[in-house]
Structure formats: C-alpha cells, structure tokens
Structure 1
Amino acid sequence: MAHVWEVPARHGDVPSAYVKADKEEGLEIYLYIPDGMEIPDELLALLGVKHKGQLALRLIKSLYGLKQAGRLWNMLLHKILVKLGFCQCYTDGCLYYKRDAGGVTLVSVYVDDLLVTGTSNARVDAFFEDMAVLELKDLGVVSKFLGIGFEYDKDKGWLLEQRQVILGMLDKFGLSEASAVRVPIGGEHENDVDGELLPNDGAGSPQRPTVQTFQSLVGSLLWVARCTRPDIAYAVHRVTRRTHEPRVSDWRLAKKIARYLKGTVDTKFAMHAPRGSMSEDTIVVEGYSDADFAGDRVDRKW
C-alpha cells in the first residue's frame, strides 16, 4: 500500500514503552530497594526506620520484568489508537487502520515498533504528532525492521532483504566457509524414511548435530522463507516433515538450503503494485498456486 500511495512507510519507536503503562488496579506489587539506591537519613528517620532494608517500594506503574508488562503496554497502545479513531484489523491484531473523508492511515505494530503509511504524507505527519503522548520517535523512512532490510524505490517498489540474518545463520551453523549451491533442493533422497536418526541428547553442534540443532536451523530457515525468500519455501516445507525425528539426510538437506542462501545472499524480495491497480478504493489482488498429484512417493499424498 505504501508503494501504491507513493508514501514511504515510516518507522516509529516508543522509548521505555513498558513503564508508560499503569499496573492493574487492585494489584499491589512491592519491590526490594535495589543496591546502589541510597535513602537519605532524614527520610529514614521520618519513616521511623534505621536502614533501607526495613523498607520496600510500592510499584505504581508497570515495569520491565513483570510477566504482565507486555500485555499492559499493548492494552495502553490499543486504547490510545482507538481513541485516535483507529480500528483493529479482524484478521491481524497487529494492524490498525483509520479511514475518513481525508483518506486512510495504516499502522503496523510490533511491541514498541510501528510502521506507518497512509494516502498522504500529511496523514503520517499527523499520526506522529498525535502519538506525542507516548513520546513516539520518528525514525524516518524504514530501513530496518525485525531484522529485515528495507529499500524504497519509487519505480521498483519496496526491496526487502535479510543479508545479516542469513550471514549470522551461516556462522552459527558452521557454514560460513561452505561452498554455495545453485538450487535449494533436488538430487537427494528426500523420501528416505529409513535413514540414520539424529541423536536426541542436547543442543549438539554443527560438527555433531542433534535433533535440537536441526530444529534450530529449520526455524531460522522458516523465518527467512516467510519474510523475504519464498524461493526456498518448498524446500523448507520438505525439510520440516520430520522435525521431531529427523534423519541425517534431513540435516544434509537443511544445510543445502542454507548453502543456497549463501550463494544468493544479496537477492532481494520486491513488493510492488502496478499503477492503476487500485481504483475506487478497491485493491485488485491476483493469486497463483501450484499443486501436484500423489507427489509423495512414500504414501502418495498430495
């Protein structure tokens, strides 16, 4: 939508977000006075105690470390957005929208990070002004969000990449010096159900992979596939079929996908919409799917 409206999405951040929320009514929380916090002797005498160990602090606001801190912050943010006229999306609770005679404003929320766009820059400016109550910082046009790099081109649209995430994954699993491959899957015995099982005895290492090592690598691959690299989606789907009882062959395939990413680390995912694809407030969406018939050679499921 930011590309269709030609209004670059801007990144907002709320500093010290959790402590802005009030704690629940009727719930009393007391804290030990932390080391390094000095209480003046005059105040101790006024309170009728000899040392600070006889005192406790009563919490009046939310605080980092409380189990409910995240929920309290989200409730506060939701309350303020609704007060400003925003509606929460039914299918995505992290998306808020505001539509009026002046246009549309969209806000995507991840804890205390916000992505904001709208039908005009003036609407985005107005949003940041309205959110001054939370001291929302305007970090400018988004360049990094949740580990995803963003690059805006008026003609090409948004270009998304996860170069640093991929390089970090390669280093974590000992594949930084591995040779790259041209395809993420193909040529291996992907339906091998009788191969050697990976050991299930702890975290393991790239040199001695265990079930937990495999699951960690697959989780990293799933995140990359979901965010910016749909070209590995099928291969990752294949390697996730036996995450609880992976074979050595599954570990090899997972490493092959990572090696493919190494060779294509600079590939970017383009998000754009043709001019004129939105008319009379209606977005024209085209979707494509692929299917096979009894493609699994083990049980012939689709």
Structure 2
Amino acid sequence: MNQEMESMYFKKKKVWELVEAPNGVKPIGCKWIYKRKRGVDGNVETFKARLVAEGFTQKGGINYKETFSPVAMLKSIRILLSIAAVLDYEIWQMDVKTAFLNGHLEENIYMQQPDGFIQKGQEHMVCKLQRSIYGLKQASWSWNIRFDQAIKSFGFIQNIDEPCVYKKIQEKFVTFLILYVDDILLIGNDIGVLTTIKSWLAEQFDMKDLGEASYILGIKLPRDRKNKTLALSQAVYIDKILARFSMKNSKTGLLPFRHGITLSKDQSPKTSEEIERMRRVPYATPVGSLMYVMLCTRPDICFAIGMVSLILDLNTGLRSSI
C-alpha cells in the first residue's frame, strides 16, 4: 500500500491535491484491492495493493465522457512473434507500473481520501484528481491517449488497422512496439536501438524492465533461437481452470470433441434433484475461460467451444422468452 501511494508521486507526478469539497459536489469513494501476481511457474511473485476509485458512481457527461480504449489483438501479437522467430529478432518485455495514473483528466473529479492515509487535521478535505486513477470510467482511455502521444513524439508510427501496434524504421534498424494495456513488447533487430527505447520509456513512465520476453498475458513463450522456433503455451492457465471447476482429475483425451456425439435436450437434468444440482454448476464462466484459451493458443478446440456455446445461447434465449 505504501508503494502504491509512492507511485502516485513518481517523478513529481501528483495524482491529486487536497481541497475543500465544493458545495453541491459529492465526492466518489475509493477502496483498496489486493492481488497476488504469479510468475511463469504459477508461484506467487508479488503481493500487490491497488487503490481503486468507485467509478460506478460517476455520471456520464458530467465527470466522464469517453471510456473506450483499444488493446492489441492476439492475432497481431502472434504475427509479430512469428516474424521475430523467423528473422531472429530480439523480443523484450516491459511493464508500466500504475499505468493509468499517467493519464490526464479533462473533467473535475473529487474523491474521498483513501483508508489508512487520511491526513490528520484535514479529515474534512477531499482529493481533487489531477490524473486518472484505476476505477475511473475514463482511466484506460486517458492512459491510451497519453501513451499514444508520447510514443509518437519519439518517432514511432501507429499501425492504421491496429492502433496498439507501432513501428519505427531507421535505415536498417526495425523496431515494433506492442501495447496491451500496461504490458509492452519490444521487437527489433538491434540491441542498441532497443536499449535506447527502453531508456527513453523509463524516463517517461515508471517502468519495470522484464528483460527477454518469456511470459505475457498468461502465455509462456518457450523459444529456440538456434532452430528459429517459438511456441505459445498456456499450461498453467489451463491447469488453473481445471482446478477451479473441479476437473483436475478428469479423464484426458486426444481429441477435443469426439466424432458422432450430438448434444441435445435429452441430456439435460430431468429430476428435481438433478436440476437443483446443476443450478450450482457454473456454465458460462468456464465457456468464457476456454474461449480465451482458444483465441490465444488452442484453435483446435474451436469446434467444441462452438458447440457448448450454442447450447448456452439456446438456454439463455429459452430463459429470456420464459
């Protein structure tokens, strides 16, 4: 929590100032969110505390306008990783610490002082936000605008069809930058140029240098540079899904969907006991989790996911009509 508060003032970055609450203005609340960040092997690496504004109390047109923020598409990441593997480019990774705190606000937003850090003698005062903070409706939009302006000023060109992919070409030196919220991939053919870019990014934002990319967005990147191959693995994520939905000891198979099997209404629970038991079994959540795996690393389960998603859509439509 102390580290989170220190990040609010990184390099003279003052996220808020204490002021008297204006008449008729009700400040939004805030709360602390705690999370365990895991590494490639699934073990906990850091315990993280995040101060989050209660943005659900904001009102459109009053204290926020735009909320949309793009992220790099997974297929774009795969394409650039393939290019890097074939051409033996460097693949480096960086993480922006408290990325959303870098965005500038256009609206006047007042927030209550965070628990545990209320200033003595100033308990009645509120925080007037000068920068965006996690939880605000416009936080991701403000951060994306801030990063886009900064990276373009350094000579990067934004891809027309993929707004979170940038390129910079200097003579024979080629560099690609991929932004996924606060995760950055740097891909290029010259270590010196990449080092210069990393140094510049560290001057602009509070960055964490993760070195050569090995794990991004829950995807492991085992690489064999000698044979110019790079794989994508979500084994840890898949094991986590299996454990979460009590399928850890399930029977394995070679095919994601056996030929000839047809899902029908006859397979639905019939007795009241079966129906009640199935009410406690999640369905939409595991389907969504598997869809993420399908999009990232396992296109072979696409047909199976399509089948179970169809059943979900039919059941949802049936309940809606009832």
Q: TM-score, normalised by structure 1?
A: 0.68
CA distance 1:34–1:181, shift in 2 (3 Å): closer
Equivalent residues in 2 for 1:105-116 (5 A)?
Answer: 105-116=175-186
Residues 220-241 of structure 1, C-alpha deviations (whole Å, 9 max, x = no match): 2221121112222233233333
Matched, 1:17 2:88: no
Closer/same/farther in 2, CA of residues 175 and 105 from structure 1, 3 Å limit: same
Which residue matches 1:52?
122
Residue matched to 1:98: 168
In structure 2, the residue corresponding to 1:13 is in which secondary structure? strand
Q: Distance in 1 between matches of 2:279 and 2:167?
A: 46
Structure 2 contact 269–278 (Cα < 8 Å) conserved: no
Alignment pair present for 1:219 and 2:288: yes
Q: Aligned partners of 1:186 and 1:39: how far apart in 2?
A: 63
2:22 corresponds to which residue?
none
Question: Deviations for 1:87-146, whole angstroms, at most 9, x for unmatched residues?
Answer: 222222221112232322111111111011112222221211221211332211111111
1:32 aligns with 2:112: yes
1:143 maps to which residue? 214
The 8 Å contact of residues 31 and 58 in structure 1, kept in 2 or not, is answered as: yes
SS, match of residue 195 in structure 1? helix
Which aligned pairs between 1:170-209 and structure 2 lie closer than 5 A?
Answer: 170-190=242-262, 192-197=263-268, 208=278
Query: Residues 193, 33 of structure 1: CA spacing in aligned structure 2 closer, same or farther, 3 A cutoff?
Result: closer
Structure 2 gaps of 5+ residues are: 1-82, 317-322
CA distance in 1, matches of 2:163, 2:223: 26
More strand by share: 2
Q: Which residue of 2 aligns with 1:4?
A: 86
Q: Runs of at least 4 residues of structure 1 off by over 6 A?
A: none
Say whether residues 1:158 and 2:235 are aligned partners.
Answer: no
Q: Determine the C-alpha separation between the residues in 1 that align with 2:157 and 2:246.
A: 46
Count residues in correspondence.
228
Query: Under a length normalisation based on structure 2, what TM-score does the superposition of the two structures give?
Result: 0.64
Give the residue type in structure 2 aligned to 1:234.
F
- What is aligned with 1:242? 311
Question: RMSD across aligned C-alpha pairs, in angstroms?
Answer: 2.6
Give the Å deviation of 1:246.
Answer: 4.9
Deviations 1:54-79, CA, capped at 9 Å, x for gaps: 32222222222211111111111111
Whether the 8 Å contact between 1:97 and 1:104 is mirrored in structure 2 is: yes
**Structure 1 residue ranges without an equivalent (≥5):** 41-50, 248-302
Distance 2:146 2:269 in 1: 46
- CA distance in structure 1 between the aligned counterparts of 2:147 and 2:134, rounded to whole angstroms: 16
Cα deviation, 1:246-292, whole Å, max 9, x if unaligned, reads 59xxxxxxxxxxxxxxxxxxxxxxxxxxxxxxxxxxxxxxxxxxxxx
In the alignment, the residues of structure 2 paired with residue 16 and residue 34 of structure 1 have an alpha-carbon distance, to the nearest angstrom, of 16
The answer as to 2:144 corresponding to 1:64 is no
The structure that has the greater radius of gyration is: 1
Q: 1:120 aligns with which of 190, 196, 202?
A: 190
Task: Give, in angstroms, the shift of residue 179 of structure 1.
Answer: 1.4
**Other-structure match for 2:297:** 228
After superposition, give the CA deviation of every residue in 1:147-189 in whole Å (9 maximum; x if it has no partner).
0011111114111101111111111221111111221112443
What is the alpha-carbon distance in structure 2 between the residues aligned to residue 169 and residue 194 of structure 1? 26
Q: Structure 2 CA distance, aligned partners of 1:198 and 1:61?
A: 53
The amino acid across from 2:113 in the alignment is: I
Q: Which residue of 2 aligns with 1:262?
A: none
Residue type at the aligned position of 2:311: R
Partner of 2:25: none
- Quick one: which amino acid aligns to residue 298 of structure 2? R
Native 8 Å contact 1:15 1:135 kept in 2: yes
